[in-house]
Structures are given as structure tokens and as C-alpha cells.
Amino acid sequence: MTSESVQPMPGPSRRTVVAAVGAAGLAVALTACGSEDEASGSSTEQGAAAGGGAALAKTADIPEGGGKVFDAEKVVVSQPAAGDFKAFSTICTHQKCPMTDLKEDTLSCACHGSQFSVLDGSVKKGPATQPLEEKKVSVSGDSITLA
Ligand code: FES
């Protein structure tokens, strides 16, 4: 009879298939998360390829006199003056809470209420006493890359 030849694969093989699908699903989910953070993903990647590093943002994404928080990188990029870009850590210098609350040029800490200027990293309001840690960025064309 042919019934033996159409038997399904034994258990372990089937489990392997399920595990592989699970891993692929996770990869897809991670990829989806990453691309949501970047408003213009495909063109940003082209800039990164040209510059040799992973582009963080487009210069047009950063308002002059303000900034933009990048949660995944724990960085805020600001533009104190036209064409002048700066970046600072978004980790509060008081007790290291991550900060995401940016209004114009002021980054506020939800933990104890410290406020920082994202234009120069300085403390606007305590209890923090130390300025934000500055990060290096380089601008290539219209792409901003974390150095
Ligand atoms: S950790 Fe930010 S104000 Fe205390």
C-alpha cells in the first residue's frame, strides 16, 4: 500500500518548522518597529549607504530652535541655529531616567521634574545639576548620522 509513503514527517521535524516560522515572525516584528521610528525609511537608508553609517535623521526632521527625540538611540538631536546640529543623551543626569517629553527646546524628566535645553544640553530646572551628555553627530548632505 502507498499509505506508508504519505505519512507526515515525525514530530521533531515539525517542531523545527514551527520554530523557524516563529523566528521569522520575530524578525519581521523587529523590522516593523524599526521602520516606524523613521518617518522616511527608504530615503534615509540611501543616505546611510552613501555616508557609510546609519543615518539617524534628515536635517529637515529637526526644527530650527528645537529638536527631536530618538527613543531607540536615547538621543535628542537639535538645531540651535540654521544648519548647526547638536545631539545629547536623553538620559537624565539626576538619576538616569530616560526622557522623551520634548516641548520646543526643553526636554523634561518625568521622574523628578528636571528640565534641560536641547540646544546646549544645559540644566533649565533641577534637581539635576549636570548638563546632558553631548553626542557627536555628523551631517552629510541632508542626513544626520550619530558618530
Ligand atoms: S531622574 Fe530626572 S529629575 Fe530625577
| pLDDT tens for each residue of 100-143 | 999 999 999 999 999 999 999 999 999 999 999 999 999 999 99
pTM over 0.75: no
**Res. 39 pLDDT band, cuts 50 70 90:** very low
Residue-wise DSSP of 82-119 = TTEEEEEE-B-TTT--B--EEETTEEE-TTT--EEETT
CB 127 within 8 A of CB 93: no
| Ligand 1 mutation pick, 106, 114, 115, max ligand atoms within 8 A of CB | 114
Please give the number of the atom of ligand 1 that sits closest to the Cα of 128. Answer: 3
**Res. 147 pLDDT band, cuts 50 70 90:** confident
pLDDT score of 54: 74
CB 114 within 8 A of CB 101: no
| pLDDT tens for each residue of 44-56 | 444 333 344 578 9
Q: Between the CA atoms of 7, 10, 16 and 19, what dihedral angle is there, to the nearest 10 degrees?
A: 80
Residue 86 gets the label, from left (phi > 0), alpha (psi -120 to 50) or beta, of: beta
| pLDDT tens for each residue of 40-86 | 444 444 433 334 457 899 999 999 999 999 999 999 999 999 999 99
